[in-house]
Each structure stands twice: as C-alpha cells, then as structure tokens.
Amino acid sequence: MHPLLPHLGQAAGHPALVTPTATLGFPELERAALAHAGRLAADGLRPGDRVAIWATPDAATVAAIVGQVLAGVATVPLNPAIGAKELPHVLADAAPRLVLAADPAAFRERTPQVRGISFDGPPAAPAAPAPEDPVLVLYTSGTTGPPKGAVITHGNAAFDLDALAGAWGWTAADVLVHALPLFHVHGLILGVLGSLRVGGSLELLPRFTPEAVCDAFARRGTLLFAVPTMYHRLAEHAEASPADARALGRARLLVSGSAALPVRENDRLFKLFGQRVVERYGLTEALIITAARHDGPRTPGTVGPPLPGLDLRLVDEQGRRLARDPELLGEVIVRGPTVFSGYLNRPDATAQAIDAGGFFHTGDIASLTATGELRIVGRKATDLIKTAGYKVGAGEVEAALLEHPEVREAAVIGVPDEDLGERIVAFVVPYPGAAPAPQALIDHVAGALAPYKRPRAVRIVEALPRNAMGKVMKKQLGEMA
C-alpha cells in the first residue's frame, strides 16, 4: 500500500478518474502509473530526480503524475499557457531530467526536448518515499523577481489531505468535481491527490464553464472545489437557470478557497443553492491551514479554524503573539507538518519565509473570532495581487512591461473587481515620442508571463505619482483607477 495513495490498485466499485474521454478505475490507474514509473526507471531516473510535465487536464497527465508519485520522482507541473519569459526560468531553476506531455506535438516548439508519456514500460515496484521526500515543486510568485519553486513533500500532502478529509467528512463515497488548473495546490494537491487519497471519484473537467459544473452535479457530483471567481460565475448562471441551481444545491458540500469570498457573494450563493459554502484558507508554501468543518459553523467572512495539528498564531509587527480577540489584527504565521521544506535553490528566500522557530510567515493579515475562526482582512504586501484565485507579483508584471521597447516606467496594482476579486491594472509612462497601444502591452505581458498575469487595463500617463524618496505611491494609483 502506498503511503500517499493507499487506494491505488483496490477494486473500489467506482471510477477513480473520469474525464470527457476516459474513465479509469483504481486498478487501471495503478497499472498505467506503474508502467510509466517503470519506463522512467528504465530511462535511468531515480527517486529524488525531478520531471517536468505540461499540466494539461487529461487522464494521461494525471496517470503520469501518479506514476511519478509512486516512483518517488518529484513532479514540476508546467502551466500550458506559461509565458516565453517564465518558461526558461522554470526549466533552468528546476533542472528537470525530463520534460513530458500527453500531447508532445503541442509543446515541441516551446520545449524541443519534450517527450510523450508512455505507458508501455515494465511495471515498476513502487518506491517507499519518506515523509520528507519531495513530491512536487510548485512555482509561486513573490512581490518582486521571478517565481520561486516551493518544494512540497509527501508528508506535507498526506497530513494536509487527512486533516481536510476529517474536516469535510470526505470519503470514498464522494464524487469530487473540479475544473481547476493542475499546476497549483488547489487543483493538483486537493483536487487530484486528495480525491485519490480518500479513494473517492474525481470528475475532472478540462475547462471551467458553469454549465459543465452543473451538469456534473446533475449526474453524480457530491463535492465541489472552486475559487470565488468560479462561484461568482456559477451564481450568475444559476440565477438564469433554476434547474442548474437545483442541481448544484444537491451537492453534499461546496468548498471555496484560494481567494476571499465576499460576504455579499456568500449570502447570494446561500440563497441560490440553499446551503452555505464552506471556506478554507491556505497557500502554496503551507498548503491548506484553516477550514470550516462540514458539521461546524460556516461563518461568512471567515475561513474556519486552524486544522488540527497545526500551530497557527497571529503576531504583531514586533513578532509578539496576539491574544484571540476579534479586534486584534496581526500576521498569520504557522508551524507544523504542512509547512513546505523550502524554495528550490533559494536558501535566502527560505530563511526569510521560515523563522528560527520553524514558523512560516504567510504575509496575510487576520484576526481570530471569539470562537477561533480566522478572518482574513488583507495582506502585508500591497505588491501581491490575487486575481481569479491566482497570485501575481506586481513586480513581475512591471518587469515584463519594462522589457517592452516603448515603456519607460511602469507601475502595477490590483483593483477590486466583482468577478476576479482583484483586477490587474497597469500605469505606463512611454518613452518620448512613443505611443504604445494598451492592447499591445496587455498582449506583451500575456505572452511573456501567462495570460492570467496580463493587466486587464493599461493607463498611459505622463508621470507616475512619486513621494519625496522617488517611490511610486500606489495608493494614489488606486484612487486614480
């Protein structure tokens, strides 16, 4: 029995994975995964090596990732829409032994070394990973600089998933529906590894549309994982389609996370679906650290209590622990088995993020309610933007804009948005005589980084508001936007 995926190979009586083109039971999934692992071993890969994979949402990609889990090889998932500037950085930093894709032809131009996933290897004997062995390297943005690779271990994932299964009564009887990308914690660890770990059924939708999600619930879904932008679009859809509202309302549990769900939206969902969405909070480096329970209070505006086994605290600017008092705001810090082992090749950044006591500093500002639920109110750094559930550093967008030949200065902010939570807006000062078209600059960022990092609006200005020190006053930009 594999320590992370104990149900693999067991006859469950229901499929492990359903996509529009494939249905795999646990035994079939294990066979495919072991054949892939065998092929990797025959190619000389050893536990601890890294393999990058273009994270397209299909059964072959999931089976390959599972095979890599069994082989003890760490997976580096690549966003299929990753930009031209970011891809070389990730490949150089992660230095994967192989780059794989379910459809290699689609990625050959960007990665000439890419290979197809093949399930014709001699079945491998699964490796027995230790809890501290890496399972995934997930690239995540900071305020400035290129994304860093967060190294997540087998132990991190197993502990977190068990805590969430406990909080949500998540069992083999559940059918999880998700349409999240497979290159972040939410879709890959919670969605894919979580469903397989509890032995449930995973219905993986290759692309999010409200219709496809409601249809999956009309057929057999019991559990939904989605970001607030998806819930917003589901609400818009359900208001016009009562039958779909009823289908989703029959869900056992609707879970929201990765970004703030406004109270007003939460109430709207409650009216539409007849049940309160369950919120949970986390981040790439510490996985999910708080969650409302299926049988506990679901207080709008809060993200539930800390998961059992984690030491979560609020600290003031001097690092002093704050008492549990709804009036006291502090930074969330957390210590425990879900905290990652560090950033790949970045001991400096790791030392900055994890203090001497082993606490990871999240950068999120929150208070604790009298009943111990976390209420997130903001972020320490204004230069981190959450848009449609994706984290984007203002600095990386500014750097991409500055590489455009017509851009002399650039400043990027997040502006509140009903659909996206925050919308990326760029202010650009062109070189004298230049007149860049806003759409050209938007396309430039979408191509250099990834479409989700593109500004939704670009304002051409003569100068940026700066203080006496020459620093751009982003608050003023917010008022201008």
The residue ranges that bind ligand AMP (CB under 6 A) are 140, 185, 257-260, 279-284, 303, 362, 364, 376, 379, 386, 391
CA torsion 267→207→89→105, rounded to 10°? 180
338 CA to centre of own chain:
15
81 CA to centre of own chain:
15
55 is a site residue for ligand MLC (CB under 6 A): no
* Smallest separation, CB 381 to ligand AMP (Å): 10
If one counts every other C-beta atom within 10 angstroms of the C-beta of residue 408, the result is 13
CA torsion 175→79→110→87, rounded to 10°? -150
- Residues whose CB falls within 8 Å of the CB of residue 256, separated by 6 or more in sequence, listed in order: 226, 227, 228, 231, 277, 278, 279, 280
35 versus 388: smaller Cβ distance to ligand MLC: 388
Single residue of 124, 283, 376, 394 touching ligand MLC by CB under 6 A: 283
Candidate ranges 33-41, 159-167, 178-186, 407-415; the one touching ligand MLC (CB under 6 A): 178-186
Q: Which of ligand AMP, ligand MLC, none has residue 230 at its interface (CB below 5 to 8 Å by kind)? A: ligand MLC
421 is a site residue for ligand MLC (CB under 6 A): no
256 is a site residue for ligand MLC (CB under 6 A): no
CA-nearest of 273, 173, 166 to 226 is 273
CA distance 148 to 46: 24
231 is a site residue for ligand MLC (CB under 6 A): no
Query: What tokens were used for 417?
Result: 């948005």
Q: Which residues pair with 466 in a beta bridge?
A: 472
Residues that contact ligand MLC, how many (by CB under 6 A): 25
Amino acid code (one letter) for 139 = Y
63 versus 180: smaller Cβ distance to ligand MLC: 180
Single residue of 388, 441, 448, 464 touching ligand MLC by CB under 6 A: 388
- DSSP labels for 324-371? S-TT--EEEEEESTTS--EETT-HHHHHHHB-TTS-EEEEEEEEE-TT
CA distance 136 to 233: 30
**Is residue 95 left, alpha or beta, with left meaning phi > 0 and alpha meaning psi from -120 to 50?**
left
Candidate ranges 82-90, 182-190, 340-348, 354-362; the one touching ligand MLC (CB under 6 A): 182-190
372 is a site residue for ligand MLC (CB under 6 A): no
454 is a site residue for ligand MLC (CB under 6 A): yes
Q: Which of ligand MLC, ligand AMP, none has residue 419 at its interface (CB below 5 to 8 Å by kind)? A: none
342 is a site residue for ligand MLC (CB under 6 A): no
Q: Which of ligand MLC, ligand AMP, none has residue 12 at its interface (CB below 5 to 8 Å by kind)? A: none
SS3 call for 130: coil
Amino acid code (one letter) for 282 = G
* Smallest separation, CB 472 to ligand AMP (Å): 22
* Smallest separation, CB 259 to ligand AMP (Å): 5
- Residues whose CB falls within 8 Å of the CB of residue 321, separated by 6 or more in sequence, listed in order: 313, 314, 315
Q: Which of ligand MLC, ligand AMP, none has residue 446 at its interface (CB below 5 to 8 Å by kind)? A: ligand MLC
SS3 call for 299: coil
Candidate ranges 195-203, 261-269, 276-284, 291-299; the one touching ligand MLC (CB under 6 A): 276-284
417 is a site residue for ligand MLC (CB under 6 A): no
Single residue of 114, 176, 442, 472 touching ligand MLC by CB under 6 A: 442
* Smallest separation, CB 304 to ligand AMP (Å): 9
Amino acid code (one letter) for 243 = A
* Smallest separation, CB 109 to ligand AMP (Å): 28
* Smallest separation, CB 258 to ligand AMP (Å): 5
Q: Which of ligand AMP, ligand MLC, none has residue 260 at its interface (CB below 5 to 8 Å by kind)? A: ligand AMP
Amino acid code (one letter) for 36 = H
185 is a site residue for ligand MLC (CB under 6 A): yes
* Smallest separation, CB 418 to ligand MLC (Å): 13
Q: Which residues pair with 204 in a beta bridge?
A: 178
Q: Which of ligand AMP, ligand MLC, none has residue 54 at its interface (CB below 5 to 8 Å by kind)? A: none
* 150-186 residues labelled b (16+ CB within 10 A) or e (exposed): bbbbbbbbbbbbbbbbebbebeeebbbbbbbbbbbbb
Q: Which of ligand MLC, ligand AMP, none has residue 364 at its interface (CB below 5 to 8 Å by kind)? A: ligand AMP
Q: Which residues bind ligand MLC (CB under 6 A)?
A: 81, 180-181, 184-187, 208, 227, 229-230, 257-258, 282-284, 388-390, 442-443, 446, 451-452, 454
